[in-house]
């Protein structure tokens, strides 16, 4: 993108960048619906896999129908409680195990995964659950609840 900008707008200065961190479900289909059977008044819409602008419209329709007690033909497809037991679970388990065993000086305080340096955003990112930390270890994004420990 920067080469495109330099080529077409040689006098322009890039003053900011846009980036996204987006939850992705195990099966690639967003979770939209009642969070769990034990939380009847709590709904979720996540895991849009970078398609939030379009999938949010489907989420709005599904959630509106669920809240109003209407039948929605897509509710079961997107249900957060759907069964996701298939090959991808094994792949994810293997990747998480490898990440936990990867030698790294920096580890996420959430569950101990090895952090990876993100050169584009200049942050330490956790590939396991999405926590992010600044260069100096300040928490930027959860699920971690605190900064990286000082060494």
Check residue 2 and give its pLDDT: 65
Check residue 53 and give its pLDDT: 77
Q: Based on the domain organization, do 33 and 70 belong to the same domain? A: yes
Does 22 have pLDDT greater than 60? yes
Q: Based on the domain organization, do 1 and 68 belong to the same domain? A: yes
Beta strands 132-133; 139-141: pairing state:
antiparallel
Please report, for the domain that includes residue 120, its CATH number: 2.102.10.10
The predicted model scores a pTM of 0.52
Average confidence score pLDDT of the chain: 83
How many distinct structural domains can be found in the chain? 2
Q: Based on the domain organization, do 95 and 126 belong to the same domain? A: yes
Q: Based on the domain organization, do 73 and 122 belong to the same domain? A: no
What span, in angstroms and rounded, lies between the C-alpha atoms of 28 and 78? 10
The percentage of residues in the chain with a pLDDT greater than 70, rounded to a whole number, is 85
Single residue among 54, 83, 112 that ends a domain in this structure: 83
* Helix (H/G/I), strand (E/B), else coil: 37: coil
What span, in angstroms and rounded, lies between the C-alpha atoms of 61 and 80? 16
Q: Based on the domain organization, do 19 and 49 belong to the same domain? A: yes
Range of the domain at 113: 87-141
Does 104 have pLDDT greater than 70? no
Give the phi and the psi of residue 39 in degrees, each rounded to 5: -130, 75
Q: Based on the domain organization, do 117 and 48 belong to the same domain? A: no
pLDDT band at 64 (very low <50, low <70, confident <90, very high): very high
Which segments of the chain does DSSP mark as H helices, in order?
A: 2-8, 52-68, 75-78, 87-101
Single residue among 65, 83, 101 that ends a domain in this structure: 83
What span, in angstroms and rounded, lies between the C-alpha atoms of 93 and 12? 45
Single residue among 63, 83, 103 that ends a domain in this structure: 83
């Amino acid at each position: 993108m920067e080469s495109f900008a330099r080529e077409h707008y040689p006098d322009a200065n890039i003053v900011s960048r846009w980036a996204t961190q987006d939850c992705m479900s195990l099966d690639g289909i967003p979770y939209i619906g009642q969070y769990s059977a034990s939380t009847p008044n709590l709904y979720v819409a996540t895991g849009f896999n970078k398609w939030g602008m379009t999938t949010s419209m489907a989420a709005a329709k599904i959630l509106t129908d669920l809240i109003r007690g209407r039948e929605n033909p897509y509710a079961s497809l997107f249900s957060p409680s759907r069964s996701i037991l298939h090959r991808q679970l094994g792949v994810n388990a293997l990747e998480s195990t490898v990440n936990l065993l990867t030698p790294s000086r920096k580890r996420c305080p959430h569950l101990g995964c090895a952090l990876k340096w993100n050169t584009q955003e200049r942050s330490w990112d956790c590939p396991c659950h999405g926590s992010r930390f600044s260069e100096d270890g300040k928490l930027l994004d959860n699920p971690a609840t605190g900064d990286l420990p000082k060494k």
